């Protein structure tokens, strides 16, 4: 694909104004209203800041903005509403709550036993593989000794 006939123009800084012109460089509207002295290009504390080699344009002299721990939302946080199951559980009698918790306990104990069986099977597989590796290493060692003894 061919390049476009007219490449896009990049932004360039405007040339310095003529000495006799009425416009000045980088003056704030407030400084124009409050001081009779000629405006300075930038205050000395801003001029002494290190410049980034990537940063270009009129914003390059501004100090970096660091926001730590700032809440972006102005609305107060609302605590989340309890799930309907929790509301229903709280509405039942204490004996029904105990029965429900006992049922849940048995389910969780069953899940724990299943996971423990899977974990034990995994450890057995690892032990078998380690034995196999040791056997293969021993065979390789024997073959190496046989080669040296020839």
**88-105 residue pLDDT tens:** 989 999 999 999 999 999
The total number of structural domains that make up the chain: 1
Q: Which range (16-25, 83-92, 94-103) has the least confidence?
A: 16-25
| Residue 72 falls inside a structural domain | no
| Residue 11 falls inside a structural domain | no
| Residue 116 falls inside a structural domain | yes
Instruction: With CA atoms as reference, report the closest residue to 85 among 108, 104, 109.
Output: 104
| Residue 54 falls inside a structural domain | no
Model pTM above 0.85: no
Give the residue-averaged pLDDT of 13-37. Answer: 55
| Residue 39 falls inside a structural domain | no
Domain holding 90, by residue range, is 86-149
| Residue 91 falls inside a structural domain | yes
Instruction: With CA atoms as reference, report the closest residue to 97 among 88, 110, 107, 84.
Output: 88
| Residue 103 falls inside a structural domain | yes
């Amino acid at each position: 694909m061919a390049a476009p006939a007219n490449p896009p123009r990049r932004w360039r800084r405007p040339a310095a104004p003529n000495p006799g012109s009425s416009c000045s460089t980088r003056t704030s509207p407030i400084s124009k209203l409050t001081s009779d002295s000629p405006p300075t290009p930038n205050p000395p504390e801003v001029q002494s800041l290190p410049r980034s080699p990537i940063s270009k344009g009129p914003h390059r002299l501004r100090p970096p903005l660091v926001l730590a721990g700032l809440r972006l939302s102005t609305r107060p946080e609302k605590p989340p509403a309890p799930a309907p199951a929790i509301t229903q559980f709280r509405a039942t009698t204490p004996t029904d709550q105990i029965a429900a918790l006992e049922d849940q306990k048995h389910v969780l104990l069953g899940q724990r036993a299943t996971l423990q069986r899977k974990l034990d099977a995994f450890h057995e597989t690892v032990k078998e593989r380690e034995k196999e590796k040791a056997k293969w290493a021993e065979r390789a060692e024997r073959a190496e000794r046989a080669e040296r003894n020839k």
